[in-house]
Structure 1
């Protein structure tokens, strides 16, 4: 596995920047990454997609190798992440419950996080980029993923 992707990147790609009806090759390449075992998301990301975008959710569910079940290694990593960054999730302030799982999946697989969030730089409301920086986990956005994989739309 090379990449653990967050809901923000999936939606940024699917809805805002590379909708599949306009850029089908992007999503064909994403599906290849999934099939090759290089791109994964956790069950928590799938849960967020279910609440956000019907088409994206159906697409994610249709990818048989995309969603990783939460195992003990991921749970232990999530617990450690939340011990050091308890404000990463806060349901009262609508903070994402998937965020620590995205980071944990990358950490246990020595992978890169793909996320389109910006850092908050505030300890009382950290975002994925803040936690990744603190934990030494590489983070890229969706466009950087496309560039890193050497894809171009010509």
Structure 2
């Protein structure tokens, strides 16, 4: 089996708030639970923190439906995080200070998602799109690409997996 897909916070947040609300598309959430239980999708502790800080229906669903080991510990990727930090700091002539500080904030998931993928070879599932022109925000696909990491959107992931529901 290929490495699991690594989910960004916005995979859950966009699905919950916009595309696949629990009350309208329960089959989406059943499929997420199934894929999580099979180890086909995973995420990291930083994403868990971003999702559960609101204590809402989404955080409750995650706590009740995802395997206990779904959100992986990022302390094991500190060396890879240093690589990502070095890459970001080398981009200081392009990105503004606020963008770099946000990207490298230890509680923000994006840099950690890249670091985790460097070590483990995951594809990242995110709704962010590349924007090499922006100086105001380091976009996840733009940070992943220099490390050979691909980013896909939710529907692309389901297509790659051959999933239908």
TM bracket, shorter-chain basis: 0.7 to 0.9
Match of 1:7 in 2: 9
Answering whether residue 35 of structure 2 is matched by residue 24 of structure 1, we say no
Using the TM superposition, give the Cα deviation of residue 114 of structure 1 relative to its aligned residue in structure 2, in angstroms.
0.4
Answering whether residue 91 of structure 2 is matched by residue 80 of structure 1, we say no
Using the TM superposition, give the Cα deviation of residue 49 of structure 1 relative to its aligned residue in structure 2, in angstroms.
1.0
Q: CA RMSD in A?
A: 2.5
Using the TM superposition, give the Cα deviation of residue 127 of structure 1 relative to its aligned residue in structure 2, in angstroms.
0.9
Decide which of 15, 30, 33 is 2:35's aligned counterpart. 33
Larger Rg: 2
Query: Where do 5+ consecutive residues of structure 1 fail to align?
Result: none
SS at match of 2:124: strand
The normalised TM-score by structure 2 is 0.80
Match of 2:130 in 1: 119
Distance in 2 separating the partners of 1:20 and 1:106 = 29
Distance in 1 separating the partners of 2:133 and 2:41 = 29
Query: Where do 5+ consecutive residues of structure 2 fail to align?
Result: 90-94
**Distance change >3 Å, CA 149–CA 53, structure 1 → 2:** farther
Matched residues, number:
151
The normalised TM-score by structure 1 is 0.85
